[in-house]
Chain A
Amino acid sequence: MSTARSHPLNTAAAHAALIIYTLIALFPVFVIVVNSFKARKAIFREPLALPDAESFSLIGYQTVMKQGDFFGYFQNSMIVTVVALFFILLFGAMAAFALAEYRFKGNTLMGLYLALGIMIPIRIGTVAILQMMVATGLVNTLWALILVYTAQGLPLAVFILSEFMRQVSDDLKNAGRIDGLSEYAIFFRLVLPLVRPAMATVAVFNMIPIWNDLWFPLILAPAEEVKTLTLGSQVFIGQFVTDWNAVLSALSLAILPVMVLYVIFSRQLIRGITSGAVK
């Protein structure tokens, strides 16, 4: 971002704007994490105060650990998110490669068809999806969620990745063909490493909605042993009484894995950008 004309005042203004944005964005997270370590009364008395010796309490975390199979929920969320991301990236990249690389009849139409899903919310089809899941016996399995999330993520993945794959040098792919690489080898060994930044972007875009989703777990997999974290946390929110300690603690814990995944992908993103390209 260093331009020839950057004035110190401009730089300061840019930083100020960024810092203010960061504060605004982090504020809710801060409130959740801070209050998760406080006793119930302290939360309502002074929601913004940091926990001190008097108000510090782990009661929320204790409740979370005792009630329900919290680690089970955690594991379910993790499996669903990671497997769905894997399928989105794999199939999305394959479809994108075919659209970007091969000339065939209906290429453009196919691309439009695959991108159409971006504009249509998948929740509109909830009833039909539920019927399908019932018919195939997938209700109350993690597969139901994985399949739905894969379908939900594919349109954007295909759209973004095919744009990036068009930019991968044709010469490079042709050099691979002349060296005897199969189309699969060209895809996995030449093209995928070069579009890694785009893959990371797609992964981050898809990861958070999947992790946070309440709708499909509630409808397709509400059974105790396949509950996801978001659904599992709902037991603490009652119609009349809400156990705020437990809710805040559960939410704080739920942030962790997303952060870990984000760190992994963002490092990939940086590595992807800095690795040597064609010229």
Chain B
Amino acid sequence: MTETSLKLDRVSKAFGTVKVLHDIDLDVQKGEFVVFVGPSGCGKSTLLRVIAGLEDATSGTVEIAGQRVNTVPPAKRGIAMVFQSYALYPHLNVADNMTLGLKQEGASKSMITERLAEAVRILNLDPYLIRRPAELSGGQRQRVAIGRAIVRQPQLFLFDEPLSNLDAALRMNTRIEIAQLHRTLGTTMIYVTHDQTEAMTLADRIVVLRDGRVEQVGSPMELYNNPANRFVAGFLGAPAMNFLTPPDDAPDGAELGIRPEDLRLDPEGALQGTVTHVERLGGDTNIVVQTRPEEMATIRVFGQHPARVGDTVGLAYDPAKSFLFAPDGRRLR
């Protein structure tokens, strides 16, 4: 049986005359991990803040666990939120930071102790309980911020770019921890990020936003293999999809989209060009080829490749694994 954890119905938000969210509809099932992704300024953080109750929706309804919550204050929505800047209370130690919300709710002492112990166990925060935030490293602070969310046992976890302030290695570790946390707790999570790797690796479903509109909703592989339009196709995947001049039989102004891994080096290939740049990553190699005066194609080769700048190469592709986009971004094929 599936239960709806979050339901957005034609949610719009305007600041003065500037409309930042346009009629957003979304159903999130209980236990789902949904990621909002999009370039900066696409409204994803605003949407999260509307769900949290930190901003009021200009129109439309927000339902959490079947309850309409448009006029419910954030603390009573059954949510917990993890912020990009951690937002720990600087004057409270770790334990007090984590239990402040429960104390405000008027929870009993025994319940607070129990929940704190549980969160501390999950996140291995034992050694830090009496420290102040200033005495913790970035990763530890982020764990405390997540712990503060866990102790409240919310219906809905909201993450606002929680990994953006961490360095690359720590980001990957914390990403794995968040995924494990989701498996352990089984709570619905909404996660906002501009990083498509985080979106692809964490999400059950991704919501791609642009300019306050939902471009596409679906599982990571659905979006990757079957993008609805040029924007989604170009946004997901690294290196990004190549957009090239299509063969002559294509409609006027259309663009041919091919993922870098779907191109292969072939002296007899349909595309010919000169290597202008080579990125050697060890595990694989990205070769940038100039195919026309104004056109570059990136090709991704598994393993290490001896290509050098200035080499002339040919590129071939399987038409079945290519996409065709109309000038307005619609997908034609």
Contact = CB atoms under 8 A, between A and B. Distances in A.
A275 B54 contact: no
Interface string B62-94: 000000000001111001110111111111000
Contacts of B75: 177-181
Interface residues of A, number: 20
Interface stretch (A166-174, A204-212, A227-235): A166-174
A163 B84 CA distance: 23
B108 interface: no
Contact of B87 (A175, A180, A276): A175
Contacts of A190: 89
**What is the predominant secondary structure among interface residues of chain A facing chain B?**
helix
Interface stretch (B17-25, B97-105, B262-270): B97-105
A179 B104 contact: yes
A278 interface: yes
B90 A276 contact: yes
B135 A179 contact: no
A5 interface: no
A89 to B, nearest CB: 18
A174 B132 CA distance: 20
Contacts of A277: 90, 134
A180 B105 contact: yes
Contacts of B160: 171
Interface in A224-278: 275-278
B86 A179 contact: no
A198 interface: no
Interface string A174-199: 11111111000000011001100000
Contacts of B104: 179-181
A225 B134 CA distance: 51
A276 B76 CA distance: 29
Interface string A90-126: 0000000000000000000000000000000000000
A7 interface: no
Given A172-B89, A193-B91, A279-B85, A178 B79 contact: yes
A56 to B, nearest CB: 51
Given A178-B79, A179-B100, A278 B86 contact: yes
B124 interface: no
B50 to A, nearest CB: 13
B260 interface: no
B165 interface: yes
A177 B73 CA distance: 8
B187 to A, nearest CB: 15
Given A179-B75, A181-B104, A278-B90, A174 B83 contact: yes
Given A172-B85, A174-B54, 7 more contacts: A171-B83, A175-B87, A175-B88, A179-B100, A193-B90, A275-B90, A279-B86
Interface of A: 169, 171-172, 174-181, 189-190, 193-194, 275-279
19 contacts: A171-B85, A171-B86, A171-B87, A171-B160, A174-B54, A174-B81, A175-B81, A175-B83, A175-B87, A176-B89, A177-B53, A178-B52, A178-B81, A178-B101, A181-B100, A193-B91, A194-B90, A276-B90, A278-B87
Closest 4 CB pairs of A and B: A276-B134, A180-B75, A180-B104, A179-B101
